[in-house]
C-alpha cells in the first residue's frame, strides 16, 4: 500500500467539513479557469435530497442483542471486570437458529431465540452495573446504548439500528426495490447545465426536504457567491419556507399556464437524478464508511468534489487531444504543400 489507512483517517479529521467545502470550491474555480464552467451555467441550479446509506448490516433485534452483548463483554474485560458467563457460544448459536427459523417461516421459534438473546443482554448489563459504580466514558456510552436497545419496541421512535453507529436513521423513500434505507439525508445542488455540483449538505435525523433548503442555499452562497438566480426543486419541497434572493420553482404535475421557456428549465430538474446515481455508484455515497456525524458531512462533500474532479479530468483530456490533433493537422498540411511545390517545380 502507498500509505497507511490511518493516515487518510487523520487527514480527514484535520480537514473537517470546512476543509472539504474548500476542496469543492477549488474544483469549481478550476473549471471556471479552464473555461469548462461558464458563468451562465451557475445561474440556474437543481436541488434534491437523497439518502447516504451507512455501511451497517441490516438491523434485526436478534443481531442487535448479540452484537451489543459482545461489545459490552469485550470492553468490560478490557477494563478488568469479571464476567461470570459471557454467552459467547450460546449467543452465536441462538443467532444462527433465529435466522434459520425466520427463513423457514417458523416465526414462533425465531421469536423464542430472540427473547433468549434479549435475556442474555439484560444479564450482562446488570452484572456490569453491579460491579462498577462510576464506569468510564466508553463503558458508560455502551451501557446507555444497551439500555436503549433492550427497551425499544417495534413502533418506537428514535430507535437504534447499529451498535457502532447509533445515530443512523431509518428513512422510508417509498421505492419498490428498497423501501427503507439506513443512513442520513443529504441535500445536493447541481447546475442545470453541465451537471456541476455546487453544494452537498449532510443533515442529521430525517428532516423534511423543504426545511433543508435554507441551509443548502447558505452553503451554495458560501461556495460560489450570489451567482444563482433561479432554483428548481421537486414537489417534496412544497412549503419550504425559504426566504432569500433566489427564485424557487417547485415542480408540478401539469404545466398549466407555465411559460414555455420556464417549463424547459423545469424539465431539466430531472437531470439531478443521474448525477446522484453517479455519486452513489462511483464516488462512495452509497456505502459511507466514515464514522459519526462528522464522517457523514465530510463524505458527502468529498463525493461531490470527486465528481467535479472527474469531470475536470475528462475536460482536460478532451482539450489536450484537440490541441494535439490541431498540431498534427497543421504539420500534415505543411508537409502536403511542400510536397506539391516539389512535385510541380519546373525542371
**How far is Cα 233 from Cα 251, in angstroms, rounded to an integer?**
6
Measured distance CA(36)–CA(343) in Å, rounded: 45
The CATH 3.30.420.10 portion of the chain extends over: 5-56+169-311
Please report the DSSP string for 321-338 in residue order.
Answer: HHHHHHHHHHHHHHHHHH
- How many Cβ atoms are within 10 Å of 270's Cβ, its own excluded? 13
Lowest mean pLDDT among 184-193, 194-203, 248-257: 248-257
Q: Read off the pLDDT band of 330 (50, 70, 90).
A: low
Q: What is the separation of C-alpha 266 from the centre of its chain, rounded to a whole number of angstroms?
A: 25
112 burial (CB, 10 Å; 0-12 / 13-18 / 19+) is middle
Helices (H), 132-227: 137-151, 213-224
- Stated as kind and residue range, the H or E segment containing 15 is helix 5-33
- Highest CATH level, class, for 5-56+169-311: alpha beta
Give the Cα separation of 220 and 242 in Å (integer): 14
| pLDDT tens readout for residues 209-266 | 999 999 999 999 999 988 899 999 999 899 888 988 999 999 887 766 677 788 888 8
- Spatial contact of 209 and 11, defined as CB atoms under 8 Å apart: no
For residue range 7-18, list pLDDT tens digits in order: 988 999 999 999
- Using the structure block, give the residue that is written with the C-alpha cell 471486570: 81
Ramachandran class of 339: left when φ > 0, alpha when ψ lies in -120 to 50, beta otherwise: alpha
Tens-digit pLDDT profile for residues 281-326: 999 999 999 999 999 999 999 999 999 999 999 999 988 888 888 8
Q: How many CA atoms lie within 13 A of 257 on its CB side?
A: 0
The predicted-structure confidence for 76-97, as pLDDT tens digits, reads as follows 999 999 999 999 999 999 999 9
Confidence of residue 174 (pLDDT cuts 50, 70, 90): confident
Cβ neighbours of 157 (radius 10 Å) = 5
Specify the pTM: 0.85
- pLDDT reading at 119 higher than 50: yes
Separation CA 285–CA 10 (nearest Å): 20
Instruction: Say yes or no to pLDDT of 338 above 70.
Output: no
Amino acid at each position: 500500500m502507498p500509505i497507511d489507512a490511518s493516515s487518510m483517517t487523520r487527514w480527514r479529521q484535520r480537514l473537517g467539513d470546512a476543509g472539504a467545502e474548500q476542496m469543492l470550491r477549488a474544483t469549481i474555480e478550476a473549471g471556471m479557469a479552464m473555461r469548462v464552467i461558464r458563468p451562465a451555467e451557475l445561474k440556474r441550479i437543481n436541488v434534491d435530497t437523497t439518502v447516504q446509506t451507512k455501511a451497517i448490516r441490516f438491523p434485526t433485534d436478534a443481531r442487535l442483542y448479540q452484537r451489543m452483548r459482545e461489545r459490552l463483554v469485550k470492553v468490560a474485560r478490557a477494563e478488568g471486570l469479571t464476567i461470570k458467563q459471557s454467552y459467547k457460544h450460546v449467543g452465536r448459536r441462538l443467532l444462527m437458529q433465529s435466522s434459520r427459523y425466520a427463513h423457514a417461516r417458523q416465526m414462533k421459534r425465531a421469536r423464542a431465540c430472540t427473547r433468549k438473546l434479549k435475556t442474555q443482554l439484560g444479564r450482562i448489563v446488570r452484572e456490569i452495573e453491579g460491579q462498577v459504580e462510576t464506569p468510564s466514558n466508553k463503558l458508560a456510552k455502551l451501557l446507555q446504548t444497551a439500555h436503549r436497545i433492550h427497551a425499544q419496541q417495534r413502533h418506537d421512535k428514535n430507535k437504534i439500528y447499529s451498535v457502532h453507529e447509533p445515530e443512523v436513521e431509518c428513512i422510508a423513500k417509498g421505492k419498490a426495490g428498497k423501501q427503507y434505507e439506513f443512513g442520513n439525508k443529504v441535500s445536493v445542488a447541481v447546475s442545470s447545465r453541465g451537471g456541476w455540483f455546487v453544494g452537498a449538505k449532510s443533515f442529521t435525523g430525517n428532516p423534511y426536504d423543504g426545511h433543508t433548503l435554507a441551509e443548502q442555499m447558505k452553503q451554495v452562497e458560501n461556495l460560489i457567491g450570489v451567482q444563482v438566480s433561479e432554483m428548481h426543486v421537486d414537489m417534496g419541497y412544497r412549503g419550504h419556507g425559504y426566504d432569500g434572493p433566489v427564485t424557487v420553482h417547485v415542480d408540478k404535475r401539469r404545466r398549466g399556464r407555465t411559460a414555455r421557456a420556464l417549463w424547459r428549465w423545469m424539465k431539466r430538474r430531472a437531470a439531478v437524478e443521474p448525477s446522484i446515481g453517479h455519486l452513489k455508484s462511483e464516488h462512495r455515497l452509497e456505502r459511507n464508511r466514515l464514522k459519526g456525524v462528522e464522517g457523514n458531512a465530510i463524505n458527502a462533500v468529498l463525493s461531490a468534489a470527486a465528481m467535479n474532479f472527474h469531470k475536470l479530468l475528462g475536460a482536460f483530456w478532451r482539450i489536450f487531444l484537440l490541441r494535439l490533433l490541431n498540431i498534427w493537422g497543421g504539420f500534415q498540411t505543411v508537409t502536403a504543400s511542400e510536397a506539391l511545390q516539389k512535385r510541380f517545380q519546373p525542371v
